[in-house]
Structure 1
């Protein structure tokens, strides 16, 4: 019944839009045009299809978050971005494990050196291959484009679930500068700014920086130290070479950043599906330990540092633009944590885990894009290459004795992986009539992965069995060479129909592909040789991009169905305390999405968005033999809704000098694993800000608050012998910012 409801809702809405807006435009035409209307919703230019076009002209589901929205809503990282985008969520099960989820597709704990995320992230069209050790804080940006669904043709690195495209602000020949400083609770301090201007008549520069510091959102009550604190610093420098009246343009970008933290607190609560009460939960309850208080006996840490450079060269011919994009990135991520978040006793063992992630990436893309806007044909051809060299170190040590053999000892893994991706792609569009356009495209991708994995049991604790997951005795070791190659052909077809200036309808079908890999910390030499297969998806989508009521309302709708083959999924196996990646036979995901912006008056703007998701495994028997067929896909909220407004007011000379902005996001339930037992219950987050900026003033003051109801919700969770280990999202935060432009 729910599947039928989703389909009927989407079909009815798209059919109605084809006719209704034309009448609305005719009615308003006698009064004012969209360009003249002071209450029109502003256009947003995006480059998701490798051309600079209005968001409303691009036939795919895209959320574009402008620099103004990023700054006003304090969207400073992926967590805060995920809060307001339909069908987009994020979990973070460890300091080096950011797991992005778009439309039910995520790479849950698939963090091996050979692995790749299902949702890709790009900065200025350069792919970020390792999310855990990469810097993903946002500062001095032009916009962020969240592109939903598989991107099988045009993106430089093929992604199967969707993409986050971050566009930085570029140098200008008009001198500008801005500085913002702020403070908040938890002793928070933030500062960011930029300066840009000409260096010569043909060379402009831009420098931007950001500092974000705050004390811990959680406390370690054993050591008396903070957890979930942050010390973060980033900087970016750009040089733009653009001679006047020249077809040549070159942009060099360099960036560097570092962050230090004690990492997230792991808070145990009772597993509701296990009889009795877990040992750690009982201890916490008896001692009155709160939900933001950790009891690890060791100092924990989560540190990152790294940087990169990119060079983009564009050359305009009369008929096409040739672009070369060269990227280089190198980063390092380190973390150390007590696996149970507690010593022994009350834990079964005092076991400490540490990891290092050191990726180095170089990529090159060449692309030729047609420029004849008056032609019935438009086209894109290109080629892409990327090489990743990833070093990963993992170790575990039990520092107290235990009667459980699987928990004693000390192991060390070292994994060196090399990943080479090569692709060629092309797309051609043809205007059949002024209202009807057809586009076809395809990409051929070849992935080659290889590496060497070394494992050693340094100490077995005296019981002849190394600490899980490695099954070796003390002093034993093994070394395994692995490697494999995959290729895929991923076509796409799109039909666009534009019945009038206010509506564009589209339908598309396309294929996505993500390469295979190998399990993280396998328990035996034989297991280290066994890889998992690539995953593929076919996406069917219909949608509408509309500008209604003289462009006062922007309403975008999409409905989709994704058929997955060999969906990669990972589970924690308590018998060996190891993780195993399996390929689900098939999975089906259906959903609808909507985004709306309405200029009620020239002072009041209302926004709303929502998504409904039906994501299920249709044929999935795990590596341990458990049948999850018919279960919901893990970590995929079944619905998500967001509503907000911005209202400007004031009196006299300060008319419209004050603005109030607020938004509320409600996220539906999501299961933590494919067994569909434990889940995150629905939760809501309320954010608001009040800004004072007198007319023509160079300064503004903003008072802001996030999670104002102090909602306690988990961003990741897993079970352990009767307890449930939770990683909680940020509590209520608030502060004040002062910004000055000059």
Structure 2
């Protein structure tokens, strides 16, 4: 069946590409190639000016001109870094980690400046939100996106409550896909990587008429599995993904353009790969990549997204409307205990959709005043179910066959509908030719309704579900005010204060026992909004004739009613997960990054981030000892790594008259951090080294690349969930669920473009 699917996809994609190629070449004829043009190396592109769209001004701005810390990556830089998925950019910039939690493959747990969620519960709103082509995606199921034919990636650090307003208390990730070009172009690549993993990408673009242009992008990844598993006798971590994205742009005049983007993608394969915890300690997990799970698991993920963007010149400004509809269907199976016995397996299903529309107008009122104002609306629906199969008999016969082990089945989940409205305005006022004042605000309304099915013992047909109706409403105002001062044409300093909110809601993994205890105590089953106040001072500069770039910032975030996903081992259900507003916290940090072009052929980059976080008030028993004391207050904030560091070098070598050889190396480091709120589960510190060699001939349109990722063979964990199954006879003294990323791997890629 899988081979049949692959053959069908391959035939369809080739046919589509041929039709579009014929249409484009028919409209404009063949394009002659300039074979005498010398290929440029990659060193100079490290300092390239990336245009960003997240400021929502009348036209794109250069990232270096924006008075905020933005890490931006253009298509050339993404290609040089061998970015296949968004997680490949994790640790590429200070104070940012883009992790796949691994509970369900493709589920994101992004963190910026120590702020991120710590769960795959689909009703948890992300503090780092993902936007694709201006449309909100979130950062949950299906948000680990393959980087298919990208124009740019923007990482906006810190709260972004005015212009985005959708729970971006930590930051925002903005992905912009490549748009159709007027000139005919084709590019494609084929790669092989340790596993064995095969990757195919291509895109064809051009004009169909004077006012209509089109682009078709296709991506296919076939991973045979990286991890050896002695229990099952075959490699696990298998995955097959394909994505297709047609894009059409209609531009009948200079005053109007309409772009329609449709994307369909599918992923099928194994579930999470769990590190075997024999003899391990949750406070000091293994550095090895050993797995012995008895079940490979399953992921079946499908998504569709339609985005329509229209821009119209009206008066002295531009009216922009972005409509989007995204649908995700996910089914998964996971081996949670990670051992060679069936102790804890789980299933989950997630059927969700989100419809959004943003209408905004940007105009320059006069020579010194620019304003952006708009309205936003979104509605979403979620249908989620979860099953757990646990061994619960102290008389376990270690030599029993899996089918003979007594198990208890649990089930739960729920349905939810949500609505969000927002109205916003942002102003830029030039006080004089060097000083600019920025001020604005956003008013938001959130409304959620749902039916909770608490997690409880259940038959396979889920006839034991208990339905509990839930409602949640909130409204808030997110202001921002700031100043930036131009020291020169290439250097500025800035400061700002902003406030942002993360919407509250429901916990769809709440066990029935917890529901009953909360209701008995008169507590609300919904958790409230989280508020963040951010103060920041920073600088941005291009020096030495734009051959040296220095950027940095110091900031402090004050969190009120902090939302936490409490994660505790529980013999009744395996893991108890509660979501509450646990208290207040302060996060102080600084970050610095530099890029230097040494001569014409060598570029050096360096970045460092430091974060100090602490609770200032606690109202929840995080330690689980039955009382709230200073012991709770002294705990580390989860997913807050004190130190992040990255350093790299890119060097071009002109090989006589043949071409350019580009050598690239990068080192990254992240310090130890807590995973669980009670600090029982920790992430080890780890270092990562990547390297690549590219060769591009002068008189041809192809390039060949050799690369290595994770040369230090580090075990990168997505989570560290402590389990209640302490079985010393099996070496499970400190059992935990820790999904892993891949270790050391090598790859080769050949690409072609004209």
Secondary structure of the residue aligned to 1:79 is helix
1:215-252 CA-partner distances (Å, limit 9, x unpaired): 22223322223322221111111000012x43010000
1:62-87 CA-partner distances (Å, limit 9, x unpaired): 10011111111111212211131211
Aligned position for 2:511 = 523
1:390 equivalent among 374, 382, 388 = 382
Query: Is 2:678 the counterpart of 1:669?
Result: no
CA distance in 2, matches of 1:607, 1:679: 30
Secondary structure of the residue aligned to 2:719 is strand
Secondary structure of the residue aligned to 2:115 is coil
1:134 is displaced (CA, Å) by: 3.9
Residues 128, 139 of structure 2: 8 Å contact kept? no
Residues 259, 310 of structure 2: 8 Å contact kept? yes
Counting matched residue pairs gives 674
Aligned position for 2:581 = 583
Residues 362, 372 of structure 2: 8 Å contact kept? yes
Aligned position for 1:377 = 369
1:683-710 CA-partner distances (Å, limit 9, x unpaired): 1111111111122421111111111222
CA distance in 2, matches of 1:292, 1:78: 22
**CA-atom RMSD in angstroms:** 2.6
1:337 is displaced (CA, Å) by: 1.6
Query: Is 2:480 the counterpart of 1:492?
Result: yes
Aligned position for 1:736 = 748
CA distance in 1, matches of 2:409, 2:750: 51
CA distance in 1, matches of 2:328, 2:280: 40
Query: Is 2:568 the counterpart of 1:573?
Result: yes
* 1:452/1:499 CA distance change after superposition, 3 Å: same
1:579-622 CA-partner distances (Å, limit 9, x unpaired): 11121311111111112111111111111111111122222242
CA distance in 1, matches of 2:282, 2:698: 62
CA distance in 2, matches of 1:723, 1:359: 33
Residues 166, 502 of structure 2: 8 Å contact kept? no
CA distance in 2, matches of 1:436, 1:58: 13
CA distance in 2, matches of 1:292, 1:593: 32
Secondary structure of the residue aligned to 1:70 is helix
CA distance in 2, matches of 1:546, 1:440: 23
Aligned position for 2:152 = 143
Aligned position for 1:354 = 347
Aligned position for 2:638 = 634
CA distance in 2, matches of 1:556, 1:717: 34
2:66 equivalent among 58, 64, 85 = 58
* 1:65/1:597 CA distance change after superposition, 3 Å: same
* 1:641/1:398 CA distance change after superposition, 3 Å: closer
**Pairing of 1:584-663 with structure 2 (within 5 A):** 584-623=582-621, 624=624, 625-627=627-629, 628-654=632-658, 657-663=660-666
The 4+ residue runs of structure 1 with deviation greater than 6 A are: 37-40, 271-275
* 1:40/1:272 CA distance change after superposition, 3 Å: closer
Greater alpha carbon shift after TM alignment, 716-725 vs 542-551? 716-725
Aligned position for 2:339 = 342
Aligned position for 1:173 = 182
Aligned position for 1:430 = 429
Secondary structure of the residue aligned to 1:227 is coil
Residues 39, 601 of structure 1: 8 Å contact kept? no
Residues 268, 298 of structure 2: 8 Å contact kept? yes
Residues 149, 177 of structure 2: 8 Å contact kept? yes
2:142 equivalent among 110, 125, 133 = 133
TM-score norm. by structure 2 comes to 0.85
1:168 is displaced (CA, Å) by: 0.7
CA distance in 2, matches of 1:44, 1:299: 42
Secondary structure of the residue aligned to 1:68 is helix
CA distance in 2, matches of 1:570, 1:85: 26
Residues 189, 202 of structure 2: 8 Å contact kept? yes
Greater alpha carbon shift after TM alignment, 713-722 vs 502-511? 713-722
* 1:550/1:357 CA distance change after superposition, 3 Å: same
1:548 equivalent among 528, 531, 543 = 543
Aligned position for 2:200 = 191
CA distance in 1, matches of 2:279, 2:637: 21
1:458 is displaced (CA, Å) by: 6.1
Aligned position for 1:105 = 115
1:329 equivalent among 315, 326, 343 = 326
2:55 equivalent among 44, 49, 52 = 49
Aligned position for 1:218 = 227
Secondary structure of the residue aligned to 1:693 is strand
Aligned position for 2:271 = 263
Residues 700, 738 of structure 1: 8 Å contact kept? yes
Greater alpha carbon shift after TM alignment, 334-343 vs 252-261? 334-343
TM-score norm. by structure 1 comes to 0.86
1:393 is displaced (CA, Å) by: 0.8
1:448 is displaced (CA, Å) by: 0.3
1:78 equivalent among 64, 75, 86 = 86
- Segments of 5+ residues of structure 1 without an aligned counterpart are 1-36, 282-289, 467-473
Residues 90, 101 of structure 1: 8 Å contact kept? yes
CA distance in 2, matches of 1:400, 1:428: 61
1:509-555 CA-partner distances (Å, limit 9, x unpaired): 00010111122322224358611111000000011110101111111
**Pairing of 1:117-132 with structure 2 (within 5 A):** 117-129=126-138, 131-132=140-141
* 1:158/1:715 CA distance change after superposition, 3 Å: closer
* 1:410/1:320 CA distance change after superposition, 3 Å: same
Aligned position for 2:682 = 679
Residues 500, 532 of structure 2: 8 Å contact kept? yes
1:709 equivalent among 708, 712, 720 = 712
Secondary structure of the residue aligned to 2:698 is coil
1:401 is displaced (CA, Å) by: 5.3
- Segments of 5+ residues of structure 2 without an aligned counterpart are 1-42, 397-405, 727-733
CA distance in 1, matches of 2:276, 2:180: 49
1:461-511 CA-partner distances (Å, limit 9, x unpaired): 9xxxx9xxxxxxx97542100011001101000101012112111000000
* 1:476/1:394 CA distance change after superposition, 3 Å: closer
1:159 is displaced (CA, Å) by: 1.2
CA distance in 2, matches of 1:546, 1:457: 57
CA distance in 2, matches of 1:110, 1:413: 15
CA distance in 1, matches of 2:417, 2:315: 40
Aligned position for 2:308 = 311
